[in-house]
Amino acid sequence: MTGMGAPPGPGDSSIVAEFHHQLATQGAIVLAVVAILFIAWNQLRAMQYRRAVARGEAFAPGADRLPPEPAGRRFLRIAFGLLWLFDGLLQLQSGMPTGLPSQVIQPAASTSPSWVRHLVDSGVNLWTNHPAAAAASTVWIQVGIGLLLLVAPRGLWSRGAGVVSVAWGLVVWSFGNAFGGIFAPGLTLLFGAPGAIVFYIVAGVLVALPDGAWSGRRIGRYTLGGAGVLLIGFGVLQAWPGRGFWQGGLDTHPGTLTAMVTQMAQSSQPHALSSLVSSFASFDGSHGWGVNLVAVVAMVLLGAVLLVAAVRTGEEGDVPVPATVVRLLRPALIVLAVLCVADWVLIEDLGVWGGTGTDPNSMLPLLFVTFGGYLALMRPAAVGSAVGSPGGPEAATEPGPDARAEAGAEPEPAPEPEPELVGAGVARATDTPSSVPTPPAQRSWWEGIDSKRAARLAATAGAAAIVLVGVAPMAAAAVQQSADPQIAVAVDGAPTDVSGPAPAFSLTAPDGSTVSLADLRGETVVLTFLDPVCTTDCPIIAQELRVTNELLGADAARVRFVAVVANPIYRSLQTVADFNRQEGLESQSNWLFLTGSVDALQQVWDHYGVTVQSAPAGGMVAHSDVVYVIDAEGRIRRILNSDPGSADGSTESSFSGLLASQVTQVQSR
Amino acid sequence: MSRRAWVVIGALLVVAVALLVALVASSDRPTVSVPTVALQTPPPPAGSTTPTVATVVLPMGHLADPANTFYELFDRSAGSPTWTLSTPPGVADNGGLVVGPSSGGVVTAGFLPSADLTFSVLATRAPGASQWSPAELPGTLAAEPDGLATGPAGQTAAVLSSTGTPVLAAGPGATTWHRLVSAAELTEATGGCRVTRVSAVAVTTSGLPVVGARCTGADVGLFEPASPATASSPDLPAPGRWVRVGPSLGSSGVTATTVLRLQDDGPGVAGLVETSGAGRSSVVAVWDPAGGTATISAPLTVPTGWTVQATATGGNAGPGLAVLLRGPAASDVRLTTVAGPGGAWSSPGPPPAGTSAVATVGDEVDAFVPAGAELRIWAATGSGPWHRTADLIVPIQYGSSS
């Protein structure tokens, strides 16, 4: 038997090539969409300019009528837009398709309860069955979410971006992050709990909130209060005895934090950084008690400050923040920022190394959410100022009459700039000084489109299209009946196209009847060689053929699966029947397991290039793992290496799918 | 929030839910599922000696890796001092190997399931032959050292691992099998004990089947057909009734007995029985002459924390038995033999370090010391010193069945 094929590992060249191919294809679609949108917008501007010239009017870009965005919301939107964009670019690493499940997701879930592992496994199954598609999809989804947050500052599109980031964040947190390890031992904020993605979700929720929710200081209070509770809670957990954090080094065994940091330092990264992290690991090993004390005190005190600030500040935006809160809050945020950055560098090791880093871990997102809450608290949007009032991007401007009228109510789109884009691509008397005369002729509808807003809408549509470019392939992969055939190709190589007469054979079926290849003319024959007393590969190959039969559906009626015994000793009709029964194949009507005399079998093995060799000392008979696809005219059309490789679900499913596609192709010739 | 906003949010949530449902629904796709069975723990090493051949089965290879631990058969013809590797080819035996040599020289070997192979097959070898012939068994062999027995005419009996541990029998050639007895039928036997499983089978020189079992209580579960005359046949017909011939161990505090080994010793059968009760366990030798009264040896105490690592039967031209005990520490090893009925347990001296199997050939005890693919064989006679008799290299096929 040929040696077990190596499973596709991180960076497997064929999988990576397929990954890059899908990225390129999807990238081309994205470019096409963006190009079309850009051309359309450019054409609009050109047409508006020519019409303005024809009318003798001055052509001016539209006035930006976007209402001012609350400072906190703006900060969160831009910060997490950049984070999502960065995370999407991290997904471009070559190790992602085959390395993410085995090196990131499953290790993260390994100490979680079984129900969590089961949930994670369902996501892992999708990824391992379609590594290239899943990895490429994730790139576009995250890049798209980032761009959507950045280019859509207000309105439904912006809030939709928040919703999409929440939805994707929840998918990642559950299926890909084992809920941040909150159900596993060793939980610590210092190392990423409750999962960086939780802060992305929080930010998404905040961005998705209606404009009216940003009036006053309520969001700021809740955000800072939540951050305070989180810090205090994790501070208490950090202080809890018996979890190994108070000990830097336990005899010859490192404490919990030291062990974590030491492991991080060993990942592939710039030497200067690994040295820095290793040094901190050594420092913690010697001063673990002190380090943990600082961490506990910092978390509890900072959390208390945030909580007090939230509690002692009123919700009304026109009521100033108490001076004591301001005096506490600003220094606390500075300290928090310093400690978060220190943890991010020294403990989380920036989170992006090793070839499968998915994000910069949790300290930056935690800091961003907290700072966003601070801005929401200190610079609240005035009541009603979120809607309809012109002005710059600064928050808390004087509310216009429309905004006052809507104070406290859900904002209505009118006079919302989207999607109707009510504005002025051409200067009008109501917006600009009266030196621009009213054109005498009737205006076309496109002359009234505000080109700046049109640009913004086009960019938003482009970002949304990027998200869809990512979602569609992943959804399609999820409903595929079999794993990506590329996995089987990575294990066994691509099928070989041939065209030559299939050597004849005449052997015996378990019922004692004689079956020859000529008897099967008119059917597509899938021919393989199996040892009926094999302990490893052959049962797997038999099951792969059974699944192939299922995948073929109605086409299977014109296919015959034929196995020839590949054991010179154990080849009796009874033994063959026992194998069929063992594999549940005795009831598959198009399955034949043929045997014969040693001479007859040897002839078939020779003609089909199959090596069969007995082994001494209790070894299994060694034989080639190969599958031939023979067309209805009796010509060999495909040869596939059928070594099961690592024999996991994805390689088995992939081979079945690959074989089914080859059979279908041969049938359609 | 406007109606349009709700519509947008709802649409996005529908997409998300659809994605999750698709993930869940992916479990309905056809999947490769290889049928497996719960693998049995292979039986401990066992030596069996008949008037024509001595055999021993022991594990070799990477013993910490079950997939790369292979059970090798060595045999030694009567009168020859040389042990030869004789493992039957054609099947991986890393699930275990059971061998039943007969007084007539026929040897039957049975392969236990391994990995994705869920049924057993047999191999038979004619007297004096070197080639094995394949044979089928309609079931899975039980992992017992004497779960397979061959009679003088080549008739075969096999204990299966299925519920009730039925025993099957076949005539010479092992081509047509029929049911011989089961644990439930033995419980109903005359003088029967409560049999929880059949643990051994033998066929005497006269062709009589004898079955050993695990019983609750102090009775030794040794059973013969109630009508020996009609049961002694080359075809091993199923007798209508069985009778327990094993002795009772009386009020010795024994709560369970298990026949570990059972072999034809000429007059009848000789065997080893493990007893347990009151927190103690011991091994007794039992000899049951056909038509006579069974006799037992003094109990050989098995210290707490020790186990029976290996056994041997057929020594001293038939009735001789050997037990290799091993304790928790590496140096805790004890080899004890008994020559026959009325004999006392004696020790030929500490066996060589690393001994994992023994065989008794005449008055000689052979110790087998495996190390990966190498096998060293030592011999001692009576209480004499151990001397090394052979070094063998076995071509272990690592990776062939993993």
Query: Is A238:A245 a contact under the CB 8 Å cutoff?
Result: yes
Phi and psi of A531, rounded to 5°? -90, 120
Distance CA A623, CA B252 (A): 57
Q: Residue B294's closest CA among B339, B230, B341?
A: B341
Burial (0-12, 13-18, 19+ Cβ within 10 Å), A554:
exposed
Alpha carbon dihedral B2, B4, B6, B10, in 10-degree steps, equals 180
What is the 8-class DSSP label of residue A181? G
Helices (H), A528-582: 537-552, 573-582
A125 contact residues in B (CB cutoff 8 A):
26
DSSP A394: -
User: Which of A620, A625, A646, A658 should be substituted to probe chain B, the one whose Cβ sees the most B Cβ atoms within 10 Å?
Assistant: A620
Per DSSP, the residues of A436-480 read SPPPSSPPPGGGGB-HHHHHHHHHHHHHHHHHHHHHHHHHHHHT-
Residue A396 reports pLDDT greater than 50: no
Contact predicate A503/A607, CB 8 Å: yes
Q: Which residues of B touch A122 (CB under 8 A)?
A: 23-24, 26-27
pLDDT in tens, A411-451: 444 444 444 443 444 444 444 444 555 554 677 777 777 77
pLDDT at residue B321, as a whole number: 95
Tens digit of each residue's pLDDT, chain B (402 residues)? 566 666 666 666 666 666 665 555 555 678 888 888 888 999 999 999 999 999 999 999 999 999 999 999 999 999 899 999 999 999 999 999 999 999 889 999 999 999 999 999 999 999 989 999 999 999 999 999 999 999 988 899 999 998 888 999 998 888 899 999 999 999 998 887 999 999 999 999 988 999 999 999 999 999 999 887 766 777 888 888 899 999 998 767 899 999 999 999 988 999 999 999 888 899 999 999 877 788 999 999 999 999 999 999 998 888 999 999 999 998 899 999 999 998 999 998 899 999 999 999 999 999 999 999 999 999 999 888 999 999 999 999 998 887
Q: Which residues contact A335 (CB under 8 A, 6 or more apart)?
A: A298, A302
Instruction: Select the highest-mean-pLDDT range: A256-260, A320-324, B239-243.
Output: B239-243
Tokens of B400: 């062939």
Partners of residue A529 on adjacent β-strands = A564
More reliable by pLDDT, A518 or A14: A518
- Mention every residue, 6+ apart, whose C-beta is less than 8 A from residue A235: A189, A295, A296, A297, A298, A299, A300, A303
pLDDT of residue B313: 96
Q: Is A412 on the interface with B (CB under 8 A)?
A: yes
Measured in angstroms, the CA of B334 and the nearest CA of chain A are apart by 29
A273-320 per-position pLDDT tens digit = 888 888 888 888 888 889 899 999 999 999 999 999 999 888 787 778
- Residue type (1 letter), B274: E
Assembly ipTM: 0.92
Residue type, B363: D
Task: List all residues of chain B from 119 to 138 with a beta carbon under 8 Å from chain A.
Answer: 119, 121, 132, 134, 136
User: What is the percent of chain A with per-residue pLDDT over 70, rounded to a whole number?
Assistant: 88
Average pLDDT, chain A: 86
Q: Please tell me if residue B204 touches chain A, with a CB cutoff of 8 Å.
A: no
Q: What's the pLDDT tens digit per position in B12-30?
A: 666 666 666 555 555 567 8
* A114-133 residues touching B, CB cutoff 8 A: 122-123, 125-126
Task: For residue B95, list chain A residues with Cβ-Cβ distance below 8 A.
Answer: 535
Q: Which pLDDT does position B298 carry in this prediction?
A: 93
B12 CB within 8 Å of a chain A CB:
yes
Q: Kindly provide the residue ranges of all beta strands, DSSP E only, lying in A410-504, ordered along the sequence.
A: 496-501
For A559, the 3-state DSSP assignment is strand
Mark which residues 305-334 of A lie under 8 Å from B by CB: none
Model pLDDT, residue A155: 83
By the CB < 8 Å criterion, does A242 face chain B?
Answer: no
Nearest Cα of chain A lies from the Cα of B311 at a distance, in angstroms, of: 22
B contacts of A539 (beta carbons < 8 Å)? 34-35, 116-117
Where is average pLDDT lowest: A265-269, A529-533, A586-590? A265-269
In three-state secondary structure terms, B207 is coil
Helices (H), A91-130: 96-99, 106-109, 114-129
Q: The sheet that has B148-150: what strands, in order across it?
A: B148-150, B156-159, B167-170, B177-181
Asked if B397 and A619 come within 8 Å (Cβ–Cβ), the reply is: yes
Residues 134-193 of B with CB under 8 A from A: 134, 136
Enumerate the residues of chain B whose CB falls inside 8 A of the CB of residue A208. Answer: 9
Residue of chain B with shortest Cα separation from A413: B2
Q: Could you read off the pLDDT of A606-642 as tens digits, one per residue? A: 999 999 999 999 999 999 999 999 999 999 999 999 9
CA dihedral A181, A187, A192, A198 (to 10 degrees): 50
Position A428 scores a pLDDT of 43
CA distance A243 to chain B (A): 33
d(CA B5, nearest CA chain A) in Å: 7
Q: What is the enclosing helix (H) or strand (E) of A652?
A: helix A649-667
Residue pair A293/A373 in contact by the 8 Å Cβ criterion: no
Once rounded to an integer, what is the mean pLDDT over residues A380-399? 47
Q: How confident is the model at residue A527 (pLDDT cuts 50, 70, 90)?
A: very high
pLDDT of A416 reads 44
Q: What is the pLDDT of residue B212?
A: 96
As a whole number of angstroms, the distance between CA B108 and CA B146 comes to 11
What is the model's pLDDT at position A664?
96
- Could you give the CA distance from residue A161 to residue B271 in angstroms, rounded to a whole number? 80
Q: pTM for the full model?
A: 0.82
Contacts of B9 in chain A (CB under 8 A): 160, 163, 208
Please state the separation of Cα A352 from the chain's center in Å.
Answer: 15
DSSP per-residue codes, B109-126: EEEPPBTTB-S-EEEEE-
Q: Could you report how far apart the first and last alpha carbons of chain B are, in Å?
A: 62
